[in-house]
Structure 1
Amino acid sequence: MLGIERYLGDGQIPGIGPGLAKKIVAYFEEQTLSVIENQVERLIEVPGIGKKKADQIQAV
């Protein structure tokens, strides 16, 4: 899962940096990419991510 964390944290998705990537992967584990691609609204389940941040990520 370190690969997913690195992918998300390297700036490929605006709004997700290394710290946030770590939180998202820790929460969703192997489902992380599927959630981001298909159910991005679920990002608000991650502590520290609000609707505004989830909307920013979804805009990609």
Structure 2
Amino acid sequence: MSRILRLTALAVCWVPGGCVTVTAPDKPIVINLNISVTQEVVYRLDGQAKSLIQSKPGIF
């Protein structure tokens, strides 16, 4: 009985030894990236700089 059990266990272990194959796809892989980049620039002027720019607009 022990010999039959060993042979059966060996046969069961032998059967699932299948082959796995990996192949490259036929078409190229396409990745669409829709990215929106928005930037805001916020500036603040102190009182003296603001009054100087208003009094002499030709500075810049």
TM norm structure 1: 0.15
More helix by share: 1
Larger RCO of the pair (alpha carbons < 8 Å, separation 6+) = 1
